[in-house]
Structure 1
């Protein structure tokens, strides 16, 4: 069975994943812990690693069953076909998120248009094209995953 990428309504990722699990569908919504600050307090919350995306593992013939769930918008498509994520990529995301050692990313003399290979973190060994360079972050295009990654640095 393949892993597909579901596109959800904004801020519905965890609700959709919970409903998919209740239906017996294997799904994965990678979460990271962040500290959110309000005017009166700070709180540690778990937020999705990928906004509006949930991964589901199912047979191609069963793909339409997910549309019974509120919050599911559509499948993510790549080159006119439903995007399929390899098992190794899902495993890599899982192991990277469980790892305690978070590596700092430091890059020197990167130019827009450069093709680089990420060496650490959740996307290690992925090729990326540099889309934007600013004094606080890089924007990278991960063509193999069909997504854009923004890396902040100090």
Structure 2
């Protein structure tokens, strides 16, 4: 039965329509998943915990070939994320990894486009002893970034994992 094997795909949605699109797909009987996390947001008059999608404009669907058209016909869906002209298959292991991470208490994922991090860009440190300090990227490695910090009137270059940096 060629084409009946279910695989995970990423679909690109209209901006800020991830959760609505996910619900519409589920109503159609299509297995979909929009990974979200709870985040505290500050308004002028109150703080509120809200559920925000981790991947902006993306929803994952677990479908076989015959479900591709109904997915594309769903309101809010723009297209499948493609690789070499074909819908990109997301490995089951990657989906399981994200799901298991989100089950951990106080799990927090922040997706940053690696292209945003460039030499001379300013970044804010998200974790560790330099948390909330700002600096300038002086060198990019494969998994580490070297950031120049100005502390106590001194300039130092510190190595950070990419995940600990937030572009500003």
TM norm structure 2: 0.64
Show the counterpart of 1:93.
Answer: 98
Shift of the alpha carbon at 1:2?
A: 0.9
Name the counterpart of 2:166. Answer: 152
Of 58, 64, 67, the residue aligned with 1:62 is 67
Question: Which protein shows a greater Rg?
Answer: 2
Counting only pairs closer than 5 Å after superposition, residues 73-84 of structure 1 correspond to structure 2 as 73-84=78-89
Query: Residue 51 and residue 81 in structure 1: after superposition, are their counterparts in 2 closer, same or farther (change >3 A)?
Result: same
Gaps of 5+ in 2: 1-5, 109-125, 129-136, 150-159
Q: Verify: 1:30 aligned to 2:35, yes or no.
A: yes
Q: How far apart, in 1, do the equivalents of 2:105 and 2:42 lie?
A: 23
Return the TM-score normalized by structure 1: 0.70
Aligned-pair Cα RMSD in Å: 3.4
Match of 1:111 among 102, 114, 139: 139
Extract structure 1 runs of 4+ deviating beyond 4 A. 101-106, 132-135
Q: What is the CA–CA distance in structure 2 between the aligned matches of 1:150 and 1:73, rounded to whole Å?
A: 32
Question: Gaps (5+ residues) in structure 1?
Answer: 117-128, 141-148
Aligned-pair CA distance for 1:66: 1.1
